[in-house]
Structure 1
Amino acid sequence: MAEPAPGPRVLLVDDHPMFREGVRFTLTRAGVPVVGEAEDGEAAVELARRLDPDVVVMDLAMPGAGGLAATRALVAEGTRARILVLTMSGEDTAVLAAVRAGAHGYLVKGVGPDEVVAAVRAVAAGHAVFGPELAGRVLELIAAPGSSSPPAPWPPELSEREREVLELVAQGLSNQRIAERLFISPITVRNHVSHILTKLQLSDRREVMLRYAARRDP
């Protein structure tokens, strides 16, 4: 029997050693290797350059350069690593700032170990992930008047089905949920999402949410 594929390589960033130890144990036990650890934003950026992780699990509140500055720096450098925020604050301003900075997911500390593992895997697979208490609020914040530029118009180059999928991706639904809503297979949804990202020259679902979340109907 073939061995299961290794999990995404993770860089863990948090200024509390005991917390890092707990997250590291949770991830490695689930087959997700932690390839490096940092206790501040500057070290995180340097290690990400060196280690080329798949996912950076990032705290926001740290001494010196915090996680928000580190996220901006990594995104500005064009890192391929996807950034999952795992922090204490669930306040709207912190969540929206992280999303605007380039985070692909946001969890509040205290979530269960299984949720952390699932979020890391989902973010690595290209999904935008937010804790259940945050998902609806994130969309509301992105779509709120004055929170961003006017929503982009629905792109005419997409097929009718692709526009349906785009609308549901913009609402934060997973491929499975979209498949159930549209009565198609998850594989078909995945193919539609791939075509949408290519046609719109967007890199991931987070960018779809930022650009189209304010739209609710074609």
Structure 2
Amino acid sequence: MSDNFPPPPPEQPQPEYRPAAQPSPWAAPAGPPQKQRTGLIVTLAVGGGLIVAGAVVALVHSAMDAVQDSIALPPRSDTPYSEPYGEEPYADEPAPEPTATAPDVKEDVTITACTRDPQIGWQSAKVKVVNGTSTTASYHIGVEFLDKDGTKVADGVTGVVDLGPGKSVVEEIHGLGEVPRGTTCRLVDLTRMPTGD
């Protein structure tokens, strides 16, 4: 018996096994495309917003009417204005004694020096404050610095707090900025406020 067998066929490479691909969780779902409802959603949102806004306007309008109705002003009078009547003292009560008038605040404050700094050209004023009243008082003092023509070129302010009756103090007030030679000082905006007994 002869060994004439045909040669074996050449080896065929075996296909490599690959698992089936899994769909990505971020991928669009498979299936027929759905209609988008964006237009419907926007229309409903705008319509709802307009309804809410209209309701708020109506509520505010009705609240304003209610408030306006509750605040009833008296009718205007055509009679001319007159001072209110003062209270008459009772017959058995003595009339109050007149009080002494306090001196004018201008009498309490005087400028003692008005100088221009030769180095920087800024003006300053020294003011003396004497409390001429019978009570403790606080002062607000303003000074204007005027050039030769009387035009204000700078100003400054200071204050004195709780100055006792008959007491005095000297304060210095500085203007900001350079001023010309020959600038003068003038008191302005003087106020005195009683702060004690």
TM-score range, shorter chain: under 0.3
Higher relative contact order (CA 8 A, sep 6+): 2
TM-score, L = length of structure 1: 0.14
**Which of structures 1 and 2 has the bigger CA Rg?**
2
Which structure dedicates a bigger proportion of its chain to strand?
Answer: 2
TM-score, L = length of structure 2: 0.15
